Chains A and B, each alone.
Chain A
């Protein structure tokens, strides 16, 4: 027996379905005109009313407690007019002091192991197995040395700074800092949470850029990303300290030298903070004017941090990721540095060709060709700028008895460096401008890459990279001219 079974498809055939779909949209469109513009609000109101009703039925309060006493007490201290700011300054001074002083020792160990012990061993081993000089130079003096340098200078401060910072974050203190400082940031068109990404930037700009994620407003987040460069990162502290103690500390009697050079470095860091505000202000009134801006800052309840887990995760999450990115950039950079000093064109190395090419520009802005070349090849990590400068200066001046050969980065103690740099034609102006340039110039390649990852935009990455470069040139140029005018 045959029974007719209508197929589902025939009941609402394909063509008919298509019509109906657009019908639905049509109906929705008409209805939207009828229910009016504030439908969304009504919806939210309905949901919240319902939520309140259900919550009311489920929750019973033992007493009348508008907010939890403990949290309240802490909040009223850390945001008080009297104690708020001093407490904040104290906490961050402690964090930075622990980082800088605490990092010296392990940095010394690492550099003893990687640079003083392992490097000569590797060279010997290479000679023993008959590796050609250019290969061992490229691999060991170039790639290995640059990477080892970055690791030994970068790892210890980060491994101290990030866990400390993370502990403050877990406790819930950081949103209060944003709360305290927001007014200043608001006036420059930024978000209070930028205070945090800036602090993080003092540890590492790449981590600072990642930290801008907590800013939920697109415009303010871009401002925070672009200006993070002006937070003087760990990688640039050594340069500042060395140059300040050699040139600026040298201006005053020995018993004041330490203090004056320390003040000079702090002055540079403060100038960086000031530039961050100034650039934020400028950006929010020019290219970022049209971006959306919203503000909301939740002050979460305090929670006791779990110390071991925090240290573990912050080392894994932040330190290792940043370190890994730095290593991937340092390896090729080491190769480039070595090659540029050893590949000869017409009897002269590429590095020297470049230095001669850039020297006029360098001198015009109160620096020199060596410094500019060092900054070009050292884009991957600010840590290797000084060793590269020293190596290149030896290369150019032909100084004998210092250094470890063309393309091999090295460090030595203060007075010898001063002699070498004097021979390279350095003046006080060069030193001051180098400090300024080191503060302002472009972020390192790790940071640039991170900016690209975070913004997903070539345009903003380019702006974040080029704006500081241009500013760096303008500032050093102006300083140099005014300096020379005044000096006669």
Chain B
């Protein structure tokens, strides 16, 4: 008998093919799905093109990619589908773009989320990184434009960053193609559970908020014991996010807590046979 839970089965795909299909991503010819997130104007489309070999236009305009782009690549005998999300500064403000990005990471449950980060503007970019990591555990940071940073006299200690954030950090210069193999390797490791992420979570300063969060998280985990991002769901409820409130009311959130194979069924059928 095997028990599937998110913790035990780091090697099986985390995504829900059904949910993804609803979001417009057909998983029939790929093993893993990878989401590509990032601030506007950090070279996200360049990374996307470097990974897929596609030539999507990458303008030097904040907010260039409005529609969602999709592509694929193969690495170590696995087929990956990669979805380029709209560039956003944040995931909290309910603009259309942010909603698309947020919904995909939450409900699509990509196997890996690559967050492209501009090494020359780390602080600004980490805002989005921290928000994404509240939703998903499986993230890889693509520390892009590292060449520009060097030129400007900035040294980014990627190991320190990786330790602080709890996820792999790959320094790269996507325009020159530097760091792409390393990024592929990191994605491969996270997707296959070879590297385990322990993403850093932001602690609230206010005790009132902390108490409120604690109370909500308790209730959430009581109903959905395996919900991977209960804290984040609680935060969104406190912020009055109607999409999430709706998902809680309809039980859609529940679908996120159960792994692909129905946990209850797996656990109980053999016992019933024994009885």
Contact = CB atoms under 8 A, between A and B. Distances in A.
A and B interact physically: yes
Given A55-B122, A59-B122, A166-B59, 4 more contacts: A32-B238, A48-B123, A49-B205, A58-B161
Majority secondary structure, A binding face: helix
Interface stretch (A103-111, A140-148, A167-175, A277-285): A167-175
B222 to A, nearest CB: 7
A65 B56 CA distance: 34
Given A27-B215, A46-B205, A54-B126, A59 B238 contact: no
Interface string B212-252: 10011001101100000000001101111000010011010
Contacts of A28: 216, 234, 237-238, 245
Contacts, number: 182
B245 A5 contact: no
Contacts of B263: 8
Contacts of A57: 157, 160, 164
Nearest to A5: B271
19 contacts: A3-B275, A5-B275, A21-B251, A22-B249, A25-B237, A32-B238, A40-B239, A43-B204, A46-B204, A49-B205, A54-B161, A55-B122, A56-B123, A58-B158, A59-B156, A60-B157, A166-B59, A170-B59, A301-B148
Contacts of B130: 47, 50-51
B61 A175 contact: yes
A43 B208 contact: no
Given A31-B215, A51-B123, A42 B209 contact: yes
Interface string A23-48: 11101100110111001101111111
A433 B245 CA distance: 59
A101 B20 CA distance: 50
Interface of A: 2-3, 5, 7-9, 12, 17, 20-25, 27-28, 31-32, 34-36, 39-40, 42-52, 54-63, 65, 68, 166, 169-172, 174-175, 213-214, 216, 298, 300-303, 305-306, 309, 312-314, 316-317
B225 to A, nearest CB: 9
Contact of A54 (B164, B220, B237): B164
B166 to A, nearest CB: 11
A169 to B, nearest CB: 5
A322 to B, nearest CB: 14
A17 B148 CA distance: 53
B66 interface: yes
Majority secondary structure, B binding face: helix
Given A21-B251, A42-B209, A61-B153, A47 B127 contact: yes
Give 3 closest A-B pairs by Cβ, nearest first: A62-B153, A51-B126, A28-B237
Contacts of B161: 54, 58
Given A5-B268, A28-B245, A40-B92, A317 B57 contact: yes
B204 A9 contact: no
B219 A24 contact: yes
A56 B40 CA distance: 22
Contacts of B120: 68, 301
B148 A34 contact: no
B61 A174 contact: yes
B87 to A, nearest CB: 11
B97 to A, nearest CB: 8
A48 B129 CA distance: 11
B220 A166 contact: no
Contacts of A301: 120, 148
Contacts of B272: 5
A214 B205 CA distance: 36
B156 A39 contact: no
